[in-house]
Amino acid sequence: MSDRHIFRLTGPDTRSFLQGLVTNDVNGVDEGLVYAALLTPQGKYLADFFLFAQDGAVHLDAHASQADALRQRLTMYKLRADVAIEDADLHLHRGLDSTPSDGMNDPRHGALGWRAYRATPQTDDTTDWTVLRVAHRVPETGIELHPDTYILEAGFEALNGVDFRKGCYVGQEVTARMKHKTTLRKGLATVEVHGDAATGSDITADGKPVGTLHSRAGNRAIAYLRYDRADGPMQADSADVRRVTAET
């Protein structure tokens, strides 16, 4: 799990500071893991992460590739808030067996097991997490989630990654408008793929652009699709693609 970076946030303003920034209710850390995102003012994705309470602090578990930019962004927003942002000497552990005493269930989907944060790295994890992600359409940082992503198109509501009752946060107005005033015309979907097609391949139907192929496991993949063009046969590279409409 070396692709994760853990921050430790302390200070009397920590929760109110985060509450005004992220898509989910920070106070949920009293019950377990909180999955959330940080957005631009225009409602587009900047980063996704897990929040949890441990040893009197709120910790933030983010993808390592986003750590530096996330630290800079949080520091920019901090202004006069009494919050300290430090690196935490913790390592992510994951598993699918019974949740240990220090573990917390992954809030995105029950099939993703538990997460725990310990002083030493994990060495015994052999789980193919991509297979599980694809099976349950769970997006990954840097693959399905990128700077052009709107989180509702990425399924954040089903992933318990957004709270529409918590009040204002950066990008909240756009996100709420997409929820209440529009019908999503694009978004992530599960597809069957037969043939060779690389991650990032364009998907077409009758020569018209439909979307992009993302994470793949066997003959299943996550794709970003324009729904009105995705009802029939599609192509990506030399592969045949078809949307899976009934999840198993």
3-class SS of residue 172: helix
Q: What is the mean pLDDT of residues 179-194?
A: 94
Residue 106 has pLDDT above 80, yes or no: yes
Residue from 115, 142, 144, 145 nearest 127 by CA = 115
Percent of the chain topping pLDDT 70: 98
Indicate the DSSP class of residue 82: -
Interval 225-240 mean pLDDT? 96
Residue 47 has pLDDT above 90, yes or no: yes
Question: What is d(CA 72, CA 74) in angstroms, rounded to the nearest whole number?
Answer: 6
Query: Residues of the chain with pLDDT > 90: what percent?
Result: 95
Task: Report residue 207: phi and psi, to 5°.
Answer: 80, 0
CB distance 77 to 39 below 8 Å? no
Report the first-to-last Cα separation within the chain, whole angstroms. Answer: 28
pLDDT of residue 181: 84
What's the average model confidence in pLDDT over 22-42? 98
pTM of the entire structure?
A: 0.95
Confidence at residue 205, expressed as pLDDT on a 0 to 100 scale: 97
The confidence score (pLDDT) of residue 138 equals 98
pLDDT at 199: 92
Confidence of residue 246 (pLDDT cuts 50, 70, 90): low
In this predicted structure, what is the pLDDT of residue 248? 40
Give the residue from 56, 37, 54 showing the smallest Cα distance to 103. Answer: 54
For 168-186, write each residue's pLDDT tens digit: 999 999 999 999 988 999 9
**Helix H segments across 106-147?**
129-136
Mean pLDDT of 86-98: 97
